[in-house]
Amino acid sequence: MIGQILAERYQIVAPIGEGGMALVFLAKDLRTGHNVAVKFLRPEFKENPDFLGRFHREATAASKMSHHNIVNLLDVSDGAENPYIVIEYVDGKTLKDIIRERKSLPEDVAAQIAIRILSALQHAHQAGIIHRDIKPQNILVNQKGYIKVSDFGIARMVGANTATIADANNTVMGSVHYFSPEQARGETATVLSDLYSVGVVLYEMLTGAVPFEGETSVAIALQHVQARPKPVRELAPNVSPAIEAVVMKALEKEPAQRYHTALEMAQALKIALQFPEKEITLDTPVLTIDPVRKPPPRRKRSRERIALIALTVLVVVGLAVGSLLIVRSVISGTKAPYLIDLEETTAIREARIAGLNPQIVRQPSSEPAGQVIGVSHDFDYPMKRGDTILIIVSSGPIEQATPQMVSLSFDMAEQEAERVGLKLFIKDRVMNPAAAGTVLTQSPEAGTMLAYGGIIQVEISGGEITIPDLEGKLYEQEKAGLEQLGLRVNLLDEVIVADPAQSGRIATQSPRAGSVVMADTVLDLVVYMLGPTPAPSGSPAP
């Protein structure tokens, strides 16, 4: 794909990233000479209507917006064979990378970043778009300190009939550490859900940790619904009471108790920076304009015009100072990353994350093709952003023999493919007596010669489980065994009974006993629970 020209205009230069849905490449716009980013839908998802829908939603959402804090859409492909969108190229780091490097950020820097995220969301919300996946990985910081919100791939249009959707693995869309409680409950996200997610991001910037952690996604989601996060100042004592108050208000469980708009939350942050010892409410006076009042005398109008100009200058200066603060705090200076033994695209990405300009030099080697065998600067060597780092990559053999994948677990097969510079993609998952995840077929067959980076498509087993008869059995005794079988147990409902002997026993099940299903299937159970006997019909109320 490198060197390919799209639409007689965009020449693919290098891969710069990948996610669960898309592959992203750096490209050059041959008409303007500018760098752009081209996002392709992964090949294995081109026939999947859910992922196609997400991809098209990102393009639709992006087309409705144009804002300096949003990664802007530049072009969209016409053809369905290889869907792609062309977006603004942001040369910098994700906010997640910055938090990992620095553990936490000063509150004035964190607040300035949050204000810019909120500015982007205010624009999106006014355009009728809810992001639904605000997280540090989707916030980009370029070399000049500009903040860009990216990835509207699961955005929802306000008023559209698109409640929170499940993806191919039947999981709720979005990122569980940054979910709002309503998203965790499977309810429709609103603009207030985005504000909760900004609160989580701000909490993480200030403390270096997300509010809730757990062993499973379900455990984390339940905490969003039920638990109170530790106060910010308990983890970061240097944070002011005012900033802490803003964060905790954004993290309220009930949407009505949060800020009502992104603009309102941004105003609260600005006030908190001005009055750090005060527990901020929005009662502090802000500039308002009364649209129905009579025009004041000329002298008064003149004074108000001067005051408005002064206020505008202060706002502009404040934003400029905030950007400079971001540049000085998170952008200036870097260190050489550890790249030896990494795969080429990973090494390029790591170098760019560090703010460096990677240049590839290839040399013959006994190491697998595409593996980094040398660099121009040792690990942790102090460098300036924009400096060039030479990455020496093994050219290896021209072709690789496809390994035998059949009968291996998918994880082992993936490791074996990566060892010889090939990639593994799941073509299908089918019911089969083999253990779930076992490779059943592969294409091309073992021994076929493939160029470095070639793709092996595999069909894997989804397992084969016969549902046992559970009615009348104790739920707590059966649950662990069912999960060991590979089923996902869901307590669907409870039925109140007066007989203590029935309490805790399974009343009904779905799928029914004897059904044969794949691993990871959801088993819905209704359980009897002891409760008060219903009063006979016509009995007087107590």
Q: Examine the domain organization and report whether 75 and 134 are in the same domain.
A: no
| CATH number of the domain residue 134 falls in | 1.10.510.10
Q: Where a domain ends, among 89, 121, 140?
A: 89
Mean predicted confidence (pLDDT) in 109-115: 93
Task: Note the pLDDT of residue 168.
Answer: 37
Task: Note the pLDDT of residue 193.
Answer: 94
Sign of dihedral through CA atoms 449, 452, 458, 462? positive
Using the structure block, give the residue that is written with the tokens 């980009």: 140
Is residue 171 over pLDDT 70? no
Confidence of residue 111 (pLDDT cuts 50, 70, 90): very high
| Total tally of structural domains belonging to the chain | 5
Task: Note the pLDDT of residue 243.
Answer: 95
Task: Note the pLDDT of residue 368.
Answer: 75
Q: Model's pTM, two decimal places?
A: 0.53
Q: Where a domain ends, among 58, 89, 120?
A: 89
Mean predicted confidence (pLDDT) in 508-528: 93
- Has residue 226 been placed in a domain? yes
Task: Note the pLDDT of residue 291.
Answer: 33
Q: Examine the domain organization and report whether 281 and 380 are in the same domain.
A: no
Is residue 316 over pLDDT 60? no
Higher per-residue confidence, 153 vs 53: 53
Which token pair is 542?
């107590």
- Has residue 407 been placed in a domain? yes
Q: What is the C-alpha to C-alpha distance for residues 529 and 517, in angstroms, rounded to an integer?
A: 28
- Has residue 315 been placed in a domain? yes
Is residue 160 over pLDDT 70? no
Percentage of the chain exceeding pLDDT 90 = 42
Task: Note the pLDDT of residue 231.
Answer: 95
In one-letter notation, the amino acid at residue 359 is Q
Query: pLDDT of 194-228, one tens digit each?
Result: 999 999 999 999 999 999 999 888 899 999 999 99
Mean predicted confidence (pLDDT) in 111-133: 90
Query: pLDDT of 237-296, one tens digit each?
Result: 999 999 999 999 999 999 999 999 999 999 999 999 888 875 544 443 333 323 333 444
Q: Examine the domain organization and report whether 319 and 381 are in the same domain.
A: no
Strands 522-530 and 488-497: parallel
Mean pLDDT of all residues belonging to the chain: 81
Q: Examine the domain organization and report whether 239 and 117 are in the same domain.
A: yes
CB burial string 38-60: b at 16+ within 10 A, e below: bbbbbeebeebeebbebbebbbe
Which token pair is 46?
């081109």
Higher per-residue confidence, 304 vs 151: 151
Task: List helix spans (H) across 127-254.
Answer: 181-184, 191-207, 217-226, 232-235, 241-250
Q: Where a domain ends, among 57, 89, 121?
A: 89
- Has residue 295 been placed in a domain? no
| CATH number of the domain residue 485 falls in | 3.30.10.20
Residue 29 sits at the vertex; the CA angle it makes with 23 and 35, to the nearest 5 degrees, is 65
Q: Examine the domain organization and report whether 29 and 105 are in the same domain.
A: no
Q: Hey, which residues are catalytic here? A: 133
Q: Examine the domain organization and report whether 414 and 500 are in the same domain.
A: no
Higher per-residue confidence, 354 vs 302: 354
Q: Where do the DSSP E strands lie in 118-182?
A: 129-130, 139-142, 147-149, 156-157
Q: Examine the domain organization and report whether 82 and 180 are in the same domain.
A: no
Residue 147: how many other CB atoms lie within 10 Å: 25
Using the structure block, give the residue that is written with the tokens 């016409």: 78
- Has residue 291 been placed in a domain? no
Task: Note the pLDDT of residue 386.
Answer: 82
Higher per-residue confidence, 354 vs 140: 140
Is residue 442 over pLDDT 70? yes
SS3 288: coil
Least confident window among 386-395, 470-479, 509-518: 386-395
Confidence of residue 47 (pLDDT cuts 50, 70, 90): confident
Task: Note the pLDDT of residue 200.
Answer: 97
Q: How far from chain centre, in Å, is Cα 233?
A: 26
304: enclosing H helix or E strand: helix 298-326
Query: pLDDT of 49-87, one tens digit each?
Result: 777 777 777 677 777 787 888 888 888 886 667 788 898
- Has residue 541 been placed in a domain? no
Q: Examine the domain organization and report whether 110 and 72 are in the same domain.
A: no
Higher per-residue confidence, 381 vs 183: 183
Mean predicted confidence (pLDDT) in 385-395: 83
Q: Examine the domain organization and report whether 313 and 200 are in the same domain.
A: yes
Q: Examine the domain organization and report whether 254 and 272 are in the same domain.
A: yes
Q: Examine the domain organization and report whether 194 and 322 are in the same domain.
A: yes
Question: Between 95-102 and 191-207, two packed helices, what is the crossing angle to 10 degrees?
Answer: 30
| CATH number of the domain residue 71 falls in | 3.30.200.20
Query: pLDDT of 21-37, one tens digit each?
Result: 778 999 999 988 889 99
Is residue 537 over pLDDT 70? no
Q: Examine the domain organization and report whether 455 and 473 are in the same domain.
A: no
Strands 439-443 and 455-461: antiparallel
- Has residue 297 been placed in a domain? no
- Has residue 538 been placed in a domain? no
Task: Note the pLDDT of residue 191.
Answer: 93
Which domain, by its residues, includes 84? 1-89
Is residue 174 over pLDDT 80? no
Is residue 104 over pLDDT 80? yes
Q: What is the C-alpha to C-alpha distance for residues 406 and 176, in angstroms, rounded to an integer?
A: 34
Confidence of residue 540 (pLDDT cuts 50, 70, 90): low
DSSP string for 354-414: TT-EEEEEEE--SSPTTBEEEESS-TT-EE-TT-EEEEEEE---SEEEPPP-TTSBHHHHH
